[in-house]
Amino acid sequence: MARELRIDGLLIPVEKDGAGEYLKAAARRLGIPAAGIGVVRILAKTPVFGDRRQFYYELSLAVRVPAGYKNKENFPRYAAKPVMRYKPAPAGPRPVVIGFGPAGMFAALELIEYGLKPLIFERGKKLEERHADVRRFIKERKLVPESNIQFGEGGAGTYSDGKLFSRRKNTSYAGKVLDTFIKFGAPPEISYVSKPHLGTDLLRRIVANIRNHILARGGEIHYGSKLTDILVSGDAAAGVVINGSAEYLSPAIYLAIGHSARDTFELLHKKGITLEQKPVSVGVRVEHPAATINLIRYGAKYGNFPGIGAAVYSFNYTNRRTGRGAYTFCMCPGGEVVNASSEEGLLALNGMSCAARDSAFSNAAIAVTCVPADYGSAHPLAGFKFQRGIERKAFLAGGGDWRTPAQNLSDFLRGRRSSALNRNSCAMGTRSADLAGLFPAFITGTLRSAFKQWKKESPLFVADDALLMGPETRTTSPVRIRRGKNFMSINMRGLYPIGEGSGYSGGITSSAADALKAVEAAMNRGATYWASGSDPVIL
């Protein structure tokens, strides 16, 4: 009988990248003709770009070998992982999901696997209408506070670079997230490349497919439906109030609100749900021509080589004296800087890319770590006040019409305004400003020291064609909704804070994985489902 073996460490020159070459390389390693084997699966594909004279991909493959093959080199056997089977949940009232970003979507998908039909409430609009609002904001400069880059079907991740964690570096939950994205339209390569990404164009298609699947399986999605109150019975959640009037009873509420629903955090605080401050990073976006970054990372030979994608980078810096760090975050190669504001008069930036990552610019956040002591108050929501203060200054510095305050990096380092700004990708326009004026002195100081350090490591990175735009404030949530090991709020049973807004995850993959874990915990460890009648009981 034919067997399947795993072969690691196959080096393929990037110029020859392709299935035929993989087969030949595997055959050479096995010592048999290519005609006798078949590639069953690509298990890993990692760029090996250390030697600028020749770039390679390193591959791990699962291959089928003929029955009589003598495995003298003891290649390990390959066996596909078994598919998880779900035990249906007992019939009961419908679980509620608040928010339809990655965490809400994956919670709903998982609940459906257990045979449940979740009720989903999303304050923003359906994706197609949301997309029209996002475009209108760029054109007409009128923000729709409930429908923008933060709020609406698909959540904040929809307008993003769609960077995902790779399967190898993370848990089986991350693997499941990748498999789910593939099921709903992502290319299979995200399951084996070392730095998977989707891109906003692809993400929008995937979100629509997920929505259709949920609806087809009996889930309900209510748009323009904001959680405005939580019904409580004793120390347990008993239901939700939507848009101030409609009540829906349920003892299981998955709260997947993201990090920008500041009004909803105020509601949680008012309800006495335990919240605590947590660190958040704040800084600027730096943007370069993609060609500059490609040259820095790939060198002259591969700087314009098609097929290896726009180059990524990461830099880190810690100030030994203050202990304060700065680091590159959410890098978007071949992407654009976007206005990710969600409140009137408060400006926040972020970055996104399309699947092809083919714009003429590459950007990244340069984020400085801030700790609760920086917020100036012990109030659990003080971090929002801290973020808002910076966002307000940025709005005004941009001229109050949603242009982005910007400064050439070289001028920022010299402490002077730019007389002419470098070309950039910001669709809503830029306005020359002194970015130091947006931030507390410790952020500006750390940014300047970091760039000075990086100039020594990579002079082209801190060169004349780099532009800074600000501010980047929404890197994560400055609040944590305290929860126990059972994923429930520590003082409101049946309330499952999940995803970025819970304060226990960050980014698309980990927020989606967090939702999977919470649903699993609820299903296996005595979730709150109504046995019968209308009174919530804990089973």
Ligand X SMILES: Cc1cc2nc3c(=O)[nH]c(=O)nc-3n(C[C@H](O)[C@H](O)[C@H](O)COP(=O)(O)OP(=O)(O)OC[C@H]3O[C@@H](n4cnc5c(N)ncnc54)[C@H](O)[C@@H]3O)c2cc1C
Does residue 100 belong to the site contacting ligand X (CB under 6 A)?
yes
Please state, in angstroms and rounded to a whole number, the distance separating the CA atoms of residues 329 and 349.
13
Query: Per CB under 6 A, does 99 bind ligand X?
Result: yes
Minimum distance from residue 82 beta carbon to ligand X (Å): 28
- Distance of closest approach, residue 505 Cβ to ligand X, in angstroms: 7
**Span 15-74, contacts to ligand X by CB under 6 A:** none
Which listed range, 83-91, 118-126, 135-143, 362-370, lies at the site for ligand X (CB under 6 A)? Answer: 118-126
Q: Cα separation of 413 and 453, whole Å?
A: 12
Binding ligand X (rule: CB under 6 A), the pick from 104, 239, 333, 494 is 104
Pairing relationship of beta strands 404-408 and 430-432 according to DSSP bridges = parallel
Q: How do 220-222 and 119-121 pair as beta strands?
A: parallel
Q: Can residue 391 be called a binding residue for ligand X (CB under 6 A)? A: no
**Which position among 131, 163, 211, 403 is part of the footprint of ligand X (CB under 6 A)?**
163
Binding ligand X (rule: CB under 6 A), the pick from 257, 516, 522, 523 is 257
Is the separation of the CB atoms in 149 and 340 below 8 Å? yes
Does the footprint of ligand X cover residue 103 (CB under 6 A)? Answer: yes
DSSP per-residue codes, 463-511:
STT-EEEEEE--SS-SEEE-B-TTSSBTTBBTEEE-SGGGTS--SHHHH
Q: How far is the CB of 333 from ligand X (least distance, A)?
A: 11
Q: Is 124 in the site for ligand X (CB under 6 A)?
A: yes
User: What is the rounded CA–CA span in Å between residue 460 and residue 271?
Assistant: 52
By CB under 6 A, tell whether 162 contacts ligand X: yes
Least distance CB 65 / ligand X (angstroms): 38
Of residues 152, 175, 383, 405, which one binds ligand X by CB under 6 A?
Answer: 152
Q: Which residues pair with 197 in a beta bridge?
A: 163
- Joined together, the tokens standing for residue 310 give 């726009």
- Site for ligand X, residues 492 to 511, rule: CB under 6 A: 499-501, 506-509, 511
Please give the Cα distance from 492 to 496 (Å, whole number).
Answer: 9
Number of residues that bind ligand X (CB under 6 A): 44
Q: Which residues contact 450 (CB under 8 A, 6 or more apart)?
A: 315, 317, 326, 366, 368
Near ligand X by CB under 6 A, which window of 29-37, 94-102, 319-327, 389-397? Answer: 94-102
User: How much of the chain is in helix, strand and coil states, percent to nearest 5?
Assistant: 30, 25, 45
- Does residue 227 touch ligand X according to CB under 6 A? yes
Closer CB to ligand X, residue 335 or residue 494? 335
Using an 8 Å Cβ cutoff, are 370 and 474 in contact? no
Q: Point out which residues bind ligand X (CB under 6 A).
A: 98-104, 121-124, 149-152, 155-157, 159-163, 226-227, 256-258, 261, 264, 330, 338, 340, 350-352, 499-501, 506-509, 511
